A = this chain, B = another copy of it.
Amino acid sequence: MTEKDNRYLIVGLGLMGGGYAQGLSSLGMHVAAIDRDPDSIAFGIENGYIEKGSTDADPTLIASSDRIIFALYPEIFIKWMEENAHLIRPGTLLTDVTGVKSPVVSRIQELLPEGAEFIASHPMAGREVYGVRNSSSVIFKNANFIITPTEKNTEEGIEWCRSLAVSLGFRKISVISPAEHDYMIAFVSQLTHCIAVTLMTCNNNTHLADYTADSFRDLTRIANINDEMWSSLFIMNKEFLLDQMDSFIREFGELRDLVENEDYEGLKKKMRLSSKRRKAFDLKEKQ
């Protein structure tokens, strides 16, 4: 039996699940999906993303799957597993796309039946739109992919997850702990979304944007945000996120005081540090 004989199941056929389904199908895999929305299942079948699907947690479909990918919001993922994990066959390999790891991974691994393995991962890709109709595996091309194993994972399981990412077109694949992931994501992704949202909500004079240069556009691109998903992610990663928000507030307050005190040298010093780090970041990106 080769990898192509494995039957894939996508649970949650939305923007991310649809991208996985499309990518795997185009590689010649057998892909099925579960989604509560019959339109999403119908769209997936019509467009060749999946061979078949169900709007329920169909026991036969679940038990006949060798590989399962969960593309659900974190609470819904946990709830789904609480209700249906017993249907998963031993030997099944599972992964997910969830944007927080520590609170999810341990709970999911507890719920899994003996012999099945959940290797948590986070594809660092997305769009400001929703649903399978907007999905495309193109968003994975050259994106980053993070695998967050625990002591319950095997080398084989991690290797399967890595090869899945490679086959879907991800460029840089990192392996870190769930806690390292959550600390990192609080800074590079959640804090930036908090800032973008605040920029849009702190000032009602959005007509000012009539005059905008590129900076306002860039900083608010992600301000068009999936409110259900991100509210969940923020709350589930609360401790790390609050640390990052507080450190941002402290530092922003320092900059504010430099402006108030007309501290020209102090301002220049902050800006030179900022420029230096941003240039280093650009250099790394080009590597």
Interface residues of A (CB under 8 A from B): 124-126, 143-144, 146, 172, 174, 176, 183-185, 187-189, 191-203, 205-206, 208-213, 215-228, 230-232, 234-235, 238, 241-242, 244-253, 255-256, 259-260, 262, 264, 267-268, 270-275, 277-282, 284-285
Contact = CB atoms under 8 A, between A and B. Distances in A.
Copies of this chain present in the complex amount to: 2
Contact of A222 (B205, B215, B234, B247): B215
Given A224-B275, A245-B256, A219 B217 contact: no
Given A124-B212, A242-B259, A271 B206 contact: no
Q: Is the interface of A mostly helix, strand, loop or mixed?
A: helix
Most chain-B Cβ atoms within 10 A of its Cβ — which of A184, A188, A244? A188
A198 B258 CA distance: 12
Contacts of A221: 215, 218, 278
Given A187-B203, A208-B184, A198 B248 contact: yes
